[in-house]
A and B are shown apart, each in its own frame.
Chain A
Amino acid sequence: MTGTQVFRNACPRNCYDTCAILSTVENGVLKKVDGDPGSTYTRGRLCAKGYSYTRSVYSPDRIKYPMRQKGRGTGNWQRISWDEAYTEIAQTILKIKKQYGSTLPICLNKYSGNFDIMHYGIEGMLTSIGNTTRATGTPCWPAGIDAQTFDFGTIVCNDPEDIVNSKYLIIWGANPAWCSVHSMYFIKEAQRRGCKIVAIDPLLSQTASKADLYIQIKTSTDGALALGMARYILDNGLYDGEWLAKNSKGAEEFFGYLKNNITLEWAAEKTGVPQHVIETLAREYAATKPANIWIGYGMQRHTNGGQNVRAIDALAAMTGNIGKSGGGAQYAQLETWGFNYHAMIQKKPENSGGSGDRAININNFGAEVLNAKEPPIKMLWIACRGPITQDPETAVVKKAFEAMDLVVTADMFMNPTVEMSDIVLPITTTFETPGVNVSYWHYWMSLNEQAIKPMFEAKNDVTIAMELSAKLNQMEKGSCTYPTSGDLAEWVGKEFNAGIHKQFGISGWQDLKKGPAKAKGSLVAWQDGKFRTPSGKYEFWSEEARKYGHYPLPVYVEEMKPESKYPLRCISPHWKLNIHSQFQNLDWMDTVNNAPCLEIHPSLAAKYGIRERDSVKMFNDIGYIVLPAKISELVPPDTVAVYEAWYKGKKFNVNYTVKAIPADMGKKATGSPGIAFHDNFVNIQKV
Chain B
Amino acid sequence: MAKQLGFLVDSERCVGCHACEMACKNEYQLEPKIRWRKVYPLKEDSFGLPERNFMSLACNHCEDPACLKACPVIAYTKRDDGIVMHDQGRCIGCRLCMLACPYSVPQYSETRKKVQKCHMCAERQDNGQKPACVSGCPMEALSVIDAAEFSMAMSSKTLPGFPDTAATKPTTRFIKPSVGVQVRRDR
Contact = CB atoms under 8 A, between A and B. Distances in A.
B18 A212 contact: no
A236 B106 CA distance: 62
Interface residues of A, number: 56
Given A204-B52, A633-B45, A177 B15 contact: yes
A100 B17 CA distance: 52
Given A209-B51, A209-B53, A632-B44, A576 B136 contact: no
Interface in A28-53: 31-33, 35, 42-53
Contacts of A181: 15, 17, 19, 138-139
B16 to A, nearest CB: 7
Contacts of A509: none
Interface residues of B, number: 38
Interface in A236-250: none
Given A33-B26, A273-B183, A603-B186, A633 B50 contact: yes
B32 A209 contact: no
Contact of A48 (B19, B29, B140): B19
Contacts, number: 136
Given A273-B183, A634-B52, A45 B138 contact: yes
A214 B22 contact: no
B186 A51 contact: no
Contacts of B19: 45-48, 50-51, 181
B143 to A, nearest CB: 14
A228 to B, nearest CB: 14
B13 interface: yes
B15 A51 contact: no
A46 B29 contact: no
A51 B26 contact: yes
A216 B182 contact: yes
A576 B16 contact: yes
A625 to B, nearest CB: 23
B22 A204 contact: no
B64 interface: no
B22 A51 contact: yes
B12 interface: yes
Interface string B29-43: 100110100010000
B44 A177 contact: no
A591 B23 CA distance: 14
A611 B185 CA distance: 22
B137 interface: yes
Contacts of A32: 26-27, 29
Contacts of A253: none
Contacts of A49: 22
Contacts of B13: 188
B186 A47 contact: no
A215 B183 contact: yes
Contacts of A592: 18, 21, 35, 39
A7 interface: no
Interface centre among A32, A49, A210, A587 (most CB of B within 10 A): A210
A636 B185 contact: yes
Contact of A601 (B45, B139, B186): B186
A53 B17 CA distance: 16
Contacts of B183: 213-216, 273-274, 277
B1 interface: no
Contact of B26 (A44, A54, A272, A277): A54
B50 A632 contact: yes
A678 interface: no
Contacts of A53: 26
A592 B56 CA distance: 13
B136 A46 contact: yes
B169 interface: no
A524 to B, nearest CB: 24
A571 B183 CA distance: 20
Interface of B: 12-13, 15-19, 21-23, 25-27, 29, 32-33, 35, 39, 44-45, 50-53, 135-140, 177, 180-186
Question: Would you list the 7 A-B pairs with minimal beta carbon distance, nearest first?
Answer: A51-B22, A587-B32, A633-B50, A177-B15, A48-B18, A209-B51, A209-B52
23 contacts: A32-B29, A42-B138, A44-B135, A45-B138, A46-B19, A51-B26, A53-B26, A55-B25, A181-B15, A184-B139, A185-B138, A188-B139, A204-B52, A204-B182, A212-B181, A214-B181, A216-B182, A272-B185, A577-B18, A591-B35, A634-B50, A636-B185, A637-B186
